[in-house]
Copies of this chain bind each other. A is one copy, B any other.
Amino acid sequence: MSLLVVGSVAFDSVKTPFGEVEEALGGSATYFSLASGFFNDVQMVAVVGDDFPEEEIAFLNTRNVDTGGLQRVPGKTFRWKGAYTYELNEAQTLDTQLNVFEHFSPQIPDAYRDARFVFLGNIDPELQLLVLRQVREPQFVGLDTMNFWIERKKEALLAVLKHVDVLTINDGEARQLTGEVNLVKAARQILSQGPKILIIKRGEYGVLMFNGTRIFTAPAYPLEVVFDPTGAGDSFAGGMMGYLSNVQTINDETLRRAIVFGSVMASFNVEDFSMNRLRKLTYGEIEQRFKMFKALTDFEDI
């Protein structure tokens, strides 16, 4: 079943206590596509400038990513520069050059409009709405957003949320969106505004899923080296949506597994800068780490 993602493609310059990279491949659509490509074919809609290397497109194509919806326009590709402190939680943005991304208007190719699984990466909620208007009959829609849009475009965000099945945000954003400190109460409020499922990302503490009245928690994999958290959320979403669009069945059981697959992808992604770890990852390694998540959380019932 087809999976469509709309988001950003960028070049990231990232500095962490462990080193730095200059203008490495980044962006929400890119991380999502590379992660979901392990589970299913994915159609990517995004924009790049004329400086974007052909070999990166060719690489994505080898990883089940259809780049037919990638708009290439005159100008420079989106650039982001950030730094992480030793705790590796939130990035400090040092520089943002939107470049061609500034006037991005997602055009969904006709061949993609029948997509049944759609993921709206972290872009302007007005553009997310624009995407949904172009998709004919999606079965399952996921959405990611951030504090910037909650602050500046809350109305548009609430409008698009009405059409969303699963929302993925972090704990700070859940509190910001609802004005509620307690996450269980915040979740109930968000679920009353459209999404059937809420996934709260808590970085090194893992994720919480609220699926109606059912709650599921998954830890983050305890790693000895977390190199670069950039893209962890998008890799998570890619693993989750990739798995769900592959099995084509949405219920509490498949959602739980999807969340573990998402957590697996995020755990690999943070092991190296940019997409370096995902580039050389194998499906065998993904299965192995899934089993490690099982060993990490399993206990005998009474």
Contacts and interface: CB of A to CB of B under 8 A. Distances in A.
Interface of A: 86-87, 181-185, 202, 205-206, 208, 214-219, 222-226, 253, 256-257, 259-260, 287, 290-291, 294-302
B302 A215 contact: no
Contact of A223 (B184, B223, B260, B298): B184
A223 B184 CA distance: 7
B224 A217 contact: no
Given A181-B87, A222-B184, A224-B184, A216 B301 contact: no
Q: Indicate the member of A181, A206, A219, A224 with the most B CB atoms within 10 Å.
A: A219
A291 B296 contact: no
A295 to B, nearest CB: 8
Nearest to A225: B182
A109 to B, nearest CB: 34
A257 B219 contact: no
Q: Indicate the member of A215, A224, A291, A299 with the most B CB atoms within 10 Å.
A: A299
A256 B299 contact: yes
B185 A253 contact: no
A268 B223 CA distance: 31
Contacts of A300: 253, 256-257
Contact of A301 (B205, B259, B291): B291
A228 to B, nearest CB: 14
26 contacts: A87-B181, A182-B223, A182-B226, A183-B222, A184-B224, A202-B205, A205-B206, A206-B219, A208-B222, A215-B222, A215-B296, A219-B219, A253-B299, A253-B300, A256-B298, A256-B300, A257-B299, A257-B300, A287-B302, A290-B301, A290-B302, A291-B301, A291-B302, A294-B301, A297-B297, A297-B299
